[in-house]
Amino acid sequence: METLLPACSASSPASASAAPPGMSSSSPASPAPADAAGGEKPTAAPYGSWRSPITADVVSGADKRLGGIALAGDGRLLWIEGRPEEKGRMVIVKEDDKPVDIIPPEFAARTLVQEYGGGAFAVQDNTVVFSNYKDQRLYKQPTEIGSLPVPLTPDFGAPDVSYAGGVFDPHFSRYVTVMEDRRTSNLNPATTIACINLSGGDIHEPKVLVSGNDFYASPRIDQNKKRMAWIEWGHPNMPWDKSELWVGYFSESGELTKRVCVAGGNPMLVESLAEPKWSPKGELFFITDRESGFWNIYKWVEHSNEVVPAYTLDAEFTRPLWLFGNSSYAFLGKSNHIILTYRQLGRSYLGVLNCDSGSVSLLDTPFSDLSNVVAGNDYFYIEGASASVPMSIAKVTLDKNKTKAISFSIVWSSSPDVVQYRPFFSTPEFIEFPTSSPGQKAYAYFYPPLNPMFQGLPDEKPPLLVKTHGGPTAETREILDLSVQYWTSRGWAFLDVNYGGSTGYGREYRERLLGKSGIVDVDDCCSCARFLVESGSVDEQRLCITGRSAGGYTTLASLAFRDTFKAGASLYGIGDLSLMRADSQKYDSHYIDNLVGDERAYYERSPINFVNKFTCPVILFQGLDDKVVPPNQARKIYQALKKRGLPVALVEYEGEQHGFRKAENIKFTLEQQMVFFARLVGKFEVADDITPIKIKNFD
């Protein structure tokens, strides 16, 4: 149920500074009036009605996304960049004096393995292999400009075979990758680890190396010896519930003859494995949450088949495996040093681990949120952001001892022109709030309204928009998101909740949602909204909620089963849990069982079965090509609410899947949410020129 980000039907647009790492449960501060440009006193105006230069056009144009990073043989960076202005096309770009596109315009680097994809390309020396979106075939090409892709895998007549998370095999001149074959069954495709020959010009059927389990990830080959590590797991587990790490030994012909289960095979020790990597010395490192419940870095001692900690901390050193290609740590050249990232209490940290001493030297950078990293000898590239810096890639150079950063430069930004809007950025406050369970806390980011040209009326509190993140096994993070600033710069308060079940806080916090989806997440979102009301920060009569995918489910469940919110917006959200289970693709077909429970719970927690309990307006947005949450979910909710007489609107987008990628659709979704809330609960006129769609039972 993970998400991404509006062609058209009758209801579509065509026809109609970093937060501190510590915690605080004190009341969020009210926004202090800021001087307008030129020192003029801010104009007093109703919250929500403020004019802002952060328009929906700016937001949709700035929503470039990253799809992975890798180092070429010349030490330069390659990355996948998603472009809304090209209808979301994912392009491989190479670092140069001016970044250059590697693949031709008719190609896009994106895979559909497990629907969510990720890990769509890999580089060795100056050769790149990537998965092409349209036909899902693998292609090979040099990284030089003007080179043309050459297919490596057969044309099966349809995009029914996909590849992800691949690596080059230096021992046998081949590419080893996770393969998902949907030719026999689209609902239950065969997932294997397969290899594709890179020598010669002939195209052959991929050869299966590992099979028999439900899922595989992260095949990683030792550069020194003929060994491969990989992760595997089976139903009903998700990879963050229980998985196994294996090592296989290649014969002279390239077959896997001997196999050893390194971790995860002990039935008395439940653990989740991730990111196996071979060190330059041929030692296997990986991440597991054994013992402490936090994803930490461990090492395999081959001769005794033991697992020993490399560095442990009550912090998370990786992310849930929704997407292939996670790279939370990397080896610095041929040294015994690892550049690593971890999450602790809502903030990211960056450090260098000396594997000999076991000590970590923390590095200081402008980023407070970090994700993927790739490394050279004395430098590395890191994906990162902060409350004032948009998602970016930076190159960091280290001193000779590899303990300090001596240079930091941005090589790519999702929104390079964003600096002009900095006076309008609301800085989030990391808050801890009490849940409905006595003595238990949960976490969120609160963004107060801020605009240097305006201030609220003296007798008014701002409306609040609560965002429920997708997943639900995911984490909302402290990064500059113009879609959030769109709201706050117009006078809205914005709340991003990491409800129980979110990642970033360890297994115990993650497992709060097991069997309690629709209860814990809903309670936490309502509790946090009430916490802000009681602190005097927001208007109790203007609480709204929005969410995507699983967050859309939490939104709909909050509206059906609680009376906290006055209106809601669901983006490809789940209304019928039983229908969701029936329509689920293989990867998360049992995920929802773990979160919901028995048949009675499926019925009692499905908002569609309790439309009589909805008491407020709802707007729904849905991609018509969505296979994760099919369109019938939104249509069913829409028809039921329309019949009940509640104000409701439905927007459907042709060509959009699970998440909206086209700039015009991102813009339309944002604007229509704003004007919908303004008309129905806002008590203000929006400053933007937005033509609202027709609302059933209202217009």
Task: Write out pLDDT tens, residues 287-329.
Answer: 999 999 999 999 999 999 999 999 999 999 999 999 999 999 9
Residues 6+ apart with CB under 8 A from 311: 296, 297, 340, 353, 358, 360
Average pLDDT over residues 669-694: 95
Task: Give the tokens for residue 289.
Answer: 């949450």
- At what angle are helices 520-534 and 550-561 packed, to 10 degrees? 70
Nearest Cα to Cα of residue 526 among 476, 573, 566, 492: 566
Q: With beta carbons less than 8 A apart as the criterion, state whether 570 and 634 touch.
A: yes
Average pLDDT over residues 528-548: 97
Q: With beta carbons less than 8 A apart as the criterion, state whether 331 and 280 touch.
A: yes
Of the listed ranges 194-198, 346-350, 628-632, the one predicted with least confidence = 628-632
Distance CA 466, CA 518 (A): 16
**Tokens 């802000």 belong to residue:** 532
Residues 6+ apart with CB under 8 A from 473: 238, 240, 320, 322, 501, 502, 503, 510, 513
Q: With beta carbons less than 8 A apart as the criterion, state whether 111 and 117 touch.
A: yes
Q: What is the distance, to the nearest Å, from the Cα of residue 259 to the centroid of all Cα atoms in its chain?
A: 33
- Is the pLDDT score of 73 beyond 80? yes
* Residue bearing the bigger pLDDT, 161 or 34: 161
Rg (CA), the chain: 25
- Residue 74 amino acid letter: D
Beta-carbon count within 10 A of 368 CB: 24
pLDDT for res 21: 30
- Is the pLDDT score of 4 beyond 50? no
Q: What is the pLDDT of residues 660-677, one digit of tens each?
A: 888 899 999 999 999 999
Q: HSE on the CB side for 9, CA within 13 Å? A: 16
Average model confidence (pLDDT) for the chain? 91
Of the listed ranges 85-94, 126-135, 597-606, the one predicted with least confidence = 85-94
The b/e string for 158-187 (b: 16+ C-beta within 10 A; e otherwise) is ebbbbbbbbbbbebbebbbbbbbbbeeeee
Average pLDDT over residues 483-497: 97
DSSP assignment, residue 19? P
- Is the pLDDT score of 602 beyond 90? yes
**Tokens 């879609």 belong to residue:** 483
pTM exceeds cut of 0.85: yes
pLDDT classification of 202: cutoffs 50, 70, 90? confident
The size of the chain, in residues, is 699
The angle formed by the CA atoms of residues 211, 212 and 213, to the nearest 5 degrees, is 105
Helices (H), 136-289: none
Q: What phi-psi label fits residue 117: left (phi over 0), alpha (psi between -120 and 50 degrees) or beta?
A: left
Q: Which residues pair with 263 in a beta bridge?
A: 245
Q: What phi-psi label fits residue 615: left (phi over 0), alpha (psi between -120 and 50 degrees) or beta?
A: alpha
Distance CA 302, CA 260 (A): 10
